[in-house]
Amino acid sequence: MSSGNLLSLKPLRKRDWFLDGGQAIVSMPRLRSRVGKGLLRLIGKDENYRVKLDPISSSVWEQCGGNMSVGDIAEVLKNRFGDEIEPAYERLGKLIEIMERNRMIELRE
């Protein structure tokens, strides 16, 4: 994860996505190597698979446009989900960590 205070960093989406019934669907690569992608094309498989995010993750994903800080996103979640999101900062921090590790987002200063 990037250095610095996580709450001040601004997450930016790195993957194609769309909304389906209010839930975000994110396109993720099956394989990262050129050889692997070539094999997938050769056997007629899509290079990407789709990940359907739950309502809370979808809400976070929608806010990851590079303009809002993680702290700002936490406040949006608290207002939208109330007690259901608590402990908000811990849950959001873990979700941001997972998204960054899976190369779904990048964190900017």
Average pLDDT, the chain: 89
How many Cα atoms within 13 Å fall on the side-chain side of residue 18? 3
Q: Among the listed ranges 20-24, 44-48, 84-88, which one has the minimum average pLDDT value?
A: 44-48
Predicted local confidence at residue 20, as pLDDT: 94
Predicted local confidence at residue 31, as pLDDT: 66
Tokens at 67, concatenated: 């303009």
Q: Is the preceding peptide bond at 29 cis, omega within 30 degrees of 0?
A: no
Predicted local confidence at residue 2, as pLDDT: 44
- Give me the helices (H) in 30-81, please: 34-42, 55-63, 70-81
Region 72-80: mean pLDDT is 95
Beta strands, E only, 1-109: 10-13, 17-20, 23-29, 48-52, 105-108
- Span 48-71, pLDDT tens digits: 789 999 999 999 999 999 999 999
